Amino acid sequence: MVVGDYLLAGIVAMLTGLDRVALVQIMISRPLVAATLTGWVLGSPLVGMEIGMLLELLWLGRLPVGAAIPPDDTQVAVGATVLALSVGPTLGLSGMPVVILSVLIAIPLGKFGQVFDRLARHVNDRLAVSGHTALMAGDIAGLERNHLFGLISFAFASLATALVIVLVGSFVLYSVAPVLIGAVQEAGLSLHYSLIMVGAAVLLGTINVNRSASLFCAAFTGTMLVLWLK
């Protein structure tokens, strides 16, 4: 990847980050969309889609609504895609093994999104007071500037989260990939399907459905049966 690719990924990180709570909310912030979009601008939409599919189920039940600030799933998707497409080729890795490693490394780093999101909200609290003062004084231009700065604070919070995931994730991936890649390749599709089943379990745990445990067991058994028949 060249510098231009990282700049494009940064733009995607800010736009998808704004979509989470601050602007428009047309669902491009969902991991499946954000990762696919990142992969597309970097020339590998399929890799982004694979990462997004693994992450989407994990966060379907955790939304940034009201005062709730979950780990930043959007930037986890963007960061994991950048890791897979930047560090993977450098190490001579490709396919599902590097996708899985990138996802596993990026997920815990999503906690940084909570930190930067809180900082952005604190900044916006002060901007709200400043905007109210401008409104009372009849300064419409000042009110508009405060509103714009509020959007910018969320955009930079998203960019900072993506940057941390890529920088720290690159260091970790360079360190652990030579050690773990053999185990990941050996586990193969089993690890892939395990992540999907964990996501399905997380999703079932967030919905109000009687006999959800029975539904999960039935789905798990059905999946295992299909794999056995293959």
Domain ranges of the chain: 3-178, 188-230
Q: Around Cβ 201, how many Cβ atoms within 10 Å?
A: 16
Check residue 64 and give its pLDDT.
Answer: 62
Question: Which region holds residue 43: left if phi is over 0, alpha if psi is between -120 and 50, else beta?
Answer: left
Check residue 207 and give its pLDDT.
Answer: 57
Which residue's entry shows tokens 């969320």? Answer: 154
Specify burial of residue 81 (Cβ count, 10 A radius: 0-12, 13-18, 19+). Answer: buried
230 residues of the chain, pLDDT tens digit each: 678 888 999 999 999 998 888 788 888 888 989 999 999 999 889 889 888 888 887 777 666 666 667 788 899 999 999 998 988 777 776 677 778 888 888 888 988 988 898 898 888 888 888 887 887 888 788 878 887 888 888 899 999 999 999 999 988 888 877 766 665 555 555 555 556 555 555 555 555 555 555 666 666 676 666 666 55
Contacts of 27 (CB under 8 A, 6+ apart): 19, 33
The span from the CA of 176 to the CA of 169, in Å, is 10
Judge contact between 227 and 85, C-beta under 8 A: no
pTM over the 0.85 mark:
no
Q: What does the block give as tokens for 162?
A: 């993506």
Check residue 38 and give its pLDDT.
Answer: 94
Check residue 55 and give its pLDDT.
Answer: 84
Please name the amino acid found at residue 176: V
CA 111 to chain centre: 11
